[in-house]
Structure 1
């Protein structure tokens, strides 16, 4: 269902996919506060679904007051606190030495013509502007690290057995370092937040074709139709924000 508040309208959807036994994704669709998020619990680890829901629930409880910069700082503090909190919960709920309770996160904050994308992990934020697709976030994954540090090609990095391993996430033991990108919006901008289960099932052309549709719900319907027509091995989640 499309929701509107002020300048922006939005819609979100999540699906278990065809292979996974449970859905470890979660999303926040909160146009009244100009805030949206997607969180992807770390598959194969303890309580990934709990971690992603904690991220979304705590973001939803932020007051949504103050200046844009103050709200951006509130989001950062919230995610840093959750990173610490998940570390404290682990000894009780998951005593195994190799257990991790964590989640990726990507957050979009909009106010006036200001936008900020805040993220950790490989959930993404895309911008569709003037019939061109831009990936605003940059994956925190071993594959990206290999490309940057060892100057491997995309094909070479994909061949690494741990290519999809995350280098940052909320609750991933190492102190959380969030990445933030700020920009100015222009009329007609469309934003997409999504988990890897969605974008890995789509070509860039399919993403752009869907984002050019006229309502958030139609965009979601097209995206999920294409991915679920394929193998859909992972959970898939998306939030679409349009003017």
Structure 2
């Protein structure tokens, strides 16, 4: 904890420790994931360029760069609103951006995003797409975000099992994303932070390579860097065809 003087008083503010890493998938020619690790400003994010589209690596990097450039000022509600406005502006920008033919890539530029804001004992998770935010609290792992994907939609609306939904040929298609050329709907979840809480932001290439139990076991490691390295190491033992990214945050 840090002691910060404010108008003659002493306010205790949490000091967050974090670590992040991204690795290119074993069958990929370029990494289309990107992440933001900014504990001094209480802001973290993971973005995953839309598979099957061009310039996914540029789209995800734009998401991270724009979030990193935000002035994280004001109250917590103002910070959340700033992130929402930033992502909506970027959605419009990506939706109207054509990749130059000279770059050898054409088509839609799009990306998922999951962002975490922390201030005092307050947290906010903001997302669009299937990159996820998890919370390790006590000895349990909770998935805070809910995927914006056809897979999730099939399970929710048609009551299919996970195995049945996965059999759909378009199961991995996203229903929301930044730059997807449709009105952007961002989801926000706010919660109170408790002592010992640990957060994980990750792309689908990471969580698809591990079971819920494996994710939880890794989250019990002592430091954020140890958690990240264990997660990456365990995924790389398997096929790891997709790019994988993890950002871990704890007090």
| TM-score bin (small chain) | over 0.9
Alignment of 1:8-157 (within 5 A): 8-90=16-98, 93=100, 99-157=107-165
Aligned residues: 235
Is 1:199 matched with 2:228?
no
Deviations 1:108-139 (A, max 9, x none): 00001100000000000000001100000000
Distance, in Å, in 1 between the alignment partners of 2:25 and 2:96 is 31
CA distance, structure 1, for counterparts of residue 209 and residue 164 of structure 2: 20
Distance (whole Å) between structure 2 residues aligned to residue 42 and residue 168 of structure 1: 11
**Among 169, 172, 179, the residue aligned to 1:164:** 172
TM-score by length of 1: 0.94
Contact 2:14/2:120, CA 8 A, preserved across alignment: no
RMSD: 1.3
- Give the Å deviation of 1:93: 3.3
Match of 2:198 in 1: 190
Higher mean displacement: 148-157 or 57-66: 148-157
- 4+ long deviations beyond 6 Å: none
SS in structure 1 at match of 2:96 = helix
CA distance in 1, matches of 2:53, 2:147: 20
TM (norm. structure 2) is 0.91
Q: Which moved more, 1:131-140 or 1:202-211?
A: 202-211
User: C-alpha offsets along residues 183-218 of structure 1, whole Å, 9 cap, x if unaligned?
Assistant: 001000000000000000111111111100100010
Distance 1:235 1:101, change over 3 A: same
Q: What displacement does 1:83 show?
A: 0.3
> Which deviations, in whole Å up to 9, do the C-alpha atoms of 1:128-181 show, x marking residues without a partner?
001100000000000111111112222211111100100000000111000000
The DSSP-based 3-state class of the residue aligned with 2:57 is helix
Shift of 1:237: 0.4
Equivalent runs, 1:218-233 vs 2, <5 Å: 218-233=226-241
